[in-house]
Structure 1
Amino acid sequence: MSKKKVLVLLGPNLNMVGIREKGVYGDETAQSIEMQIREFAESLGFECEIFQSNWEGALIDKIHEAKGVFDGVVLNAGALTHYSYALRDAVACLRIPFVETHMSNVFAREPFRAHSVLSEVCAGVICGFGKHSYFLALQALKSLM
């Protein structure tokens, strides 16, 4: 049996984790967290690709390319979560599970962060557990496949 393939899609400024807002995101680097995500995904029997971009169009293109390639997506769209209807429409195009994921508890931060235009087209939402949010999202995807 071939491994299920998952895509972990990371939006704007998530390449700066470990550098920016350490009180919110901690001081562990994005590269270290990505390595741990890959290892955890592998332990669940997944083949995992991680893609990060600060550009909305690149994220949309990657979602379009995921059709027929990936079995599920962990999506941390960063600030695009709150207003990108184009990203929302791209997610809605695919018939695979997406888990909206955030390292911080978006409901305990600025009020604008509590609203997501993506949630209603995702299978679920996980937030507030730091890097462990990604691990929980991968476990959720496994249960959905």
Structure 2
Amino acid sequence: MTSSGTLLVLNGPNLNLLGSREPGIYGSATLADIEALCSNSAAELGFTARCVQSNHEGVLLDEIHQAREQAVGIVINAGAYTHTSVALRDALAAVNLPAVEVHISNVHAREEFRHRSYLSPVVSAVIVGAGINGYRLAIAQLAELLKD
């Protein structure tokens, strides 16, 4: 299909607090560190990363909708919206782009309410518990999917 283009990297609520928010769970890397990692990882594979973080579900929905015209794939860490948002699930299904869901922590080793994802059934892959390296893995997976 393609080996270039823009990958939308979406980060949801509270991820702007990375680096200071529960470092025992999420580590010491900041959102800026993740965005740099994504930009570098995408560039190594011939893509551009467009990184967006919002604490507002509607902003994330608008970004997914716009991705139909502006991106070739999506990396999404929807934070808590993963476990609550049918709207994000429906948007990902509607845009018909390959998407990879990322979680920094192993959500399956945490509270039971974090075990269910509304997004997982409509994405190409799910990466959990790999720390911020999960974003690099997600970008590599999207690149692989897009070249097939």
Give the TM-score, by structure 1 length: 0.96
Residue 107 of structure 2 corresponds to 106
Partner SS, residue 32 of structure 1:
helix
Structure 1: where are the runs of 5+ without partners?
Answer: none
| Structure 1 residue 124, shift from structure 2 partner | 1.1
**2:67 matched residue in structure 1:** 66
2:42: which partner in 1? 41
Q: Note if contact 2:3-2:46 (Cα within 8 Å) is conserved in structure 1.
A: no
In the alignment, which residue of structure 2 is the partner of 1:86?
Answer: 87
* Corresponding residue SS for 2:65: helix
Indicate the SS of the match to 2:69. Answer: coil
One-letter code aligned to 2:10: L
SS in 2 for 1:67: helix
Inter-partner Cα distance in structure 2 for 1:5 and 1:31: 18
Alpha-carbon distance in structure 1 between the residues aligned to 2:143 and 2:41: 12
**1: distance between equivalents of 2:6 and 2:31?**
21
Q: Is the 8 A contact 2:108 2:115 kept in 1?
A: yes
Q: What is aligned with 1:13?
A: 14
Kindly provide the CA deviation profile for residues 54-78 of structure 1, in whole angstroms up to 9, marking residues without a partner as x.
0000000111111121100001000
Structure 1 residues 2 and 92, CA gap change in structure 2 (3 angstroms): closer
Question: Unpaired runs of 5+ in structure 2?
Answer: none
How much has 1:137 moved relative to structure 2?
A: 0.3
Residue type of the partner of 1:144? L
> Post-superposition shift, 1:27?
1.2
Q: Share of identical aligned residues, percent?
A: 50
Match for 1:95: what amino acid?
N
Separation of aligned partners in 1, 2:134 and 2:3: 26
- For the aligned residue pairs, the C-alpha RMSD in angstroms reads 1.2
Report the Cα distance in structure 2 between the residues aligned to 1:119 and 1:32, rounded to whole angstroms: 25
Distance apart, 1:3 and its partner CA: 2.6
1:125 maps to: 126
CA contact (8 A) 2:34 2:135 kept: no
| Residues matched between the structures, number | 145
